[in-house]
A and B are shown apart, each in its own frame.
Chain A
Amino acid sequence: MRIEKCYFCSGPVYPGHGTMFVRNDCKTFRFCKSKCLKNFKKKRNPRKTRWTKAFRKASGKELTVDNCLEFEKRRNVAVKYQRELWSKTVEAMRKVEGIKRKRQAQFIFNRLKKGKQLEKEEAISEVKKNIHLIKAPHAGKAKVLEEKMVQKLQEDVEMGDD
């Protein structure tokens, strides 16, 4: 019993779910749902279909090369059953999973950091260009100007007096 991977979306195919297609050259393709199978029949490339894991890995949106990912891989050498090895493996799996999640999250966070920077700059430029839509450029200045003029007049009058 094992959980296979869907050829198209790389999702898990649990036992009793999905379909398998066997080609004439004996290569098997498993699919988790009919959506994936239909896309496959339409000869779509999973590396170009945006919602699949294959696309995300191929376009660098997710962590691809890392030591923690090397733990889960299909080895073609059978290992004889030993109780302690198996139990240790389950423990190790737990820890590795934790580390893997942390690293994947960090990877995505780093990727999105640049976006935040750009957002900031955009807000600044927007305000600079279009501030006139919410605030007239000389709002509040009229009063100041008036006061200035009044002051100046007063000064002139005083000067005239003198």
Chain B
Amino acid sequence: KMALYNFKKIMVVPTSKEFIDITLSKTQRKTPTVVHKHYQIHRIRHFYMRKVKFTQQNYHDRLSQILTDFPKLDDIHPFYADLMNVLYDKDHYKLALGQINIAKNLIDNVSKDYVRLMKYGDSLYRCKQLKRAALGRMCTIMKRQKQSLEYLEQVRQHLSRLPTIDPNTRTLLLCGYPNVGKSSFINKVTRADVEVQPYAFTTKSLFVGHMDYKYLRWQVVDTPGILDHPLEERNTIEMQAITALAHLRSAVLYVMDVSEQCGQTLEQQLELFNNIRPLFANKPLLIVANKCDVKKISELTEEDQKIFADLTAEGISVIETSTLTEEGVMTVKTEACDKLLAHRVDGKMKGKKVHDVLNRLHLAVPAKRDEKARPPFIPEGARIGRKTMEVDAPKQYWDLMNQDEKYDVIPEIWEGHNIADYIDPDIMKNLEDLEKEEELKVKAGEYETDEESEDEEMQEIRQLAKQIREKRKLKIVCSKDKDVHGPRLPRTVKKVERKTLEKEMGDLGLDMTGKDDSHYAVNARRSRSVGVAKKRKREASVVPTSRTRSQSASRPPRDQSGVRDPKMAKQAKKLMKNQQKDMNRQGKKGEADRHVFDLKPKHLFSGKRKSGTNDHR
């Protein structure tokens, strides 16, 4: 239920004057402001009705929000309900909220009435007066709520500053006379920083601190001191402590001052203890005998010691502490926590929810196969290993075998190796074995590098292979250097010089001397003459035009350059036609079908845009 209300998120409650100002200015800004006499009457009516309704809506919304934000005392945890009662008086609180509710309803009624009346307004002036009256009445209603709103604002401020005590979780509650040392205790045990002063009633309200124990979060609640008088005469501050005692299911730590520095004798403290005993019912109880650094229980008189003895006899543990020297503080903490945990577990076991869980749990124990005893087994190696780990207390002297080695400087590193890695009592034995092994290996001939001296043939082969590889690389480099742009012509297109041919073949080892009447030399001489004749023939047949004259005679046309003889020319033409056959059949674009598109013609992209379209101007 607590989750529905967040005391820190309650909206600010404005004063009545502010409230009125805010709402009226909002109406002014958010509704249309201009209206004229000559407008149609329904328009004027609508204008003023809108203003009235808008104001009413605003008031209604804000007041509803206040009513929902403030917690209903029946809905929250009884601890908080009681605390709020103690602090703010339940009746006053309920009355204030009731007044707000009434105001809200009245405003709604006012608005309804005046909107109804406005339907019969026949002029701008009448409607305006009606609107004025409506708004005026609403504002008067709000003015009357001044007191309630002020009270609620104060409640809100105080409420948001209350400590967040979770009533359901593990809590330790400190109580006792003022000045016994409750706040000092909470300061020691948690990170809380509660004010500690020598005067009584330093702590005027509840304080919470958190601590950890056994991997759980614990709340420690510090209360203001309680004096010994009947319930009716208690003031607000004490009542807070009583409320906490009454409603929180926690472990109670009753703090007593053994040294009587708080101003109360032990008898008086005992009196108080017995008086509020009924509040400790069903709660694990612990008595903290504080300020034991000043006076110990053993130093007390017989009667006083008897008090403590009685308490112990009843089954309540008494622990001596001193928040100054921190003696016994941890003992108190652990005992109180353990007691509370045990109590809570008991409670849960007796409850109904446990059975749901218990019904689903099942502890499986393996069934005995036979009567053979099978105790747990720890192997010897583990035992030995454990022993080597045992470290004795460090001795003051080095327990070496030979005492005059005490001052030796121990070498640690040798040539990049750690000596500590080689230290082994058996190292000499291992070394001997290794050396024997090495001898055997050497004898067996493992270390002999059998470099076969290669015979001449092999050497020659290697030499040749090297030459071959070099020649290949050269060829590759040459072909890359050729840098051919354009279509790759077959090898036979270029005329082979006689010189290069003879040189190449000579390099390969053939004898190329005296080859003047060899076939290729004769042909070479012949081809030159054929080319010349062809040129002369062409010039005579073609009609001389400016183009032919401009073309230099020494430049053969492209389909005759690089061609040795008519036979080769015919072959070249055949090749050309063959290549084109496929392309022509498929109807694809060839090299000669190149068209340069004019994508941005100047006449469309320049000049002023007069008449015409983008396709033509």
Contacts and interface: CB of A to CB of B under 8 A. Distances in A.
Interface of A: 1-3, 12, 67-68, 70-75, 77, 79-83, 85-86, 88-90, 92-93, 95-97, 99, 102, 106, 109, 120, 122-124, 126-127, 130-136, 138-140, 142-143
B402 A99 contact: no
Contacts of B508: 132, 134-136, 139
Contacts of A88: 427-428
Interface of B: 388, 398-402, 405, 408, 410-425, 427-428, 430-431, 433-435, 437-438, 446-447, 449, 458, 461-462, 464-465, 467-469, 471-472, 475, 505, 508-511
A85 B416 CA distance: 20
Lowest 9 A-B CB distances belong to which pairs? Answer: A139-B509, A123-B465, A136-B508, A2-B418, A126-B465, A133-B471, A92-B431, A72-B421, A127-B464
Contacts of B468: 126-127, 130-131, 133-134
A13 to B, nearest CB: 11
Nearest to B430: A71
A133 B466 CA distance: 12
Nearest to B424: A75
B461 A124 contact: yes
A71 B468 CA distance: 51
B423 A79 contact: yes
Contacts of A89: 419, 422-424, 427
A81 B433 contact: no
A136 B509 contact: yes
A71 B419 CA distance: 11
15 contacts: A74-B421, A88-B427, A88-B428, A89-B419, A95-B431, A99-B435, A123-B462, A123-B465, A124-B461, A126-B465, A130-B472, A134-B471, A136-B505, A136-B510, A140-B509
A75 B402 CA distance: 23
Contacts of A90: 411, 414, 419
Contacts of A70: 430
Contacts of A2: 412-413, 418, 420
A36 to B, nearest CB: 18
B100 to A, nearest CB: 57
A92 B509 contact: no
Given A3-B417, A90-B419, A81 B405 contact: yes
B346 to A, nearest CB: 41
A122 B466 CA distance: 11
Contacts of B422: 71-72, 89, 92-93, 96
A85 B166 CA distance: 70
A126 B416 CA distance: 47
A119 to B, nearest CB: 9
A99 B430 contact: no
Nearest to A110: B446
Given A68-B434, A80-B400, A134-B508, A123 B461 contact: yes
A83 B405 contact: yes
B416 A109 contact: no
B511 A143 contact: yes
Nearest to A74: B421
A37 B411 CA distance: 31
B400 A139 contact: no
Contacts of B472: 130, 133
B425 A85 contact: yes
B510 A82 contact: no
A153 B418 CA distance: 89
Nearest to B399: A80
A13 B372 CA distance: 57
B388 to A, nearest CB: 7
B427 A71 contact: yes
Given A90-B419, A133-B471, A139-B508, 15 more contacts: A2-B413, A3-B416, A67-B437, A71-B431, A75-B421, A82-B400, A82-B402, A86-B410, A88-B427, A92-B428, A122-B465, A126-B469, A127-B465, A138-B510, A140-B509
A140 B512 CA distance: 11
B448 to A, nearest CB: 10
Contacts of A92: 422, 427-428, 431
Contacts of A80: 399-401
A106 B408 contact: no
A82 B417 contact: no
A108 B174 CA distance: 81
B401 A82 contact: yes
B505 A72 contact: no
Contacts of B462: 123
Contacts of B475: 133
Nearest to A146: B511
Given A86-B411, A106-B447, A135 B509 contact: yes
A71 B388 CA distance: 23
Given A81-B408, A134-B471, A72 B510 contact: no
Contacts of B412: 1-2
A139 to B, nearest CB: 3
A137 to B, nearest CB: 9
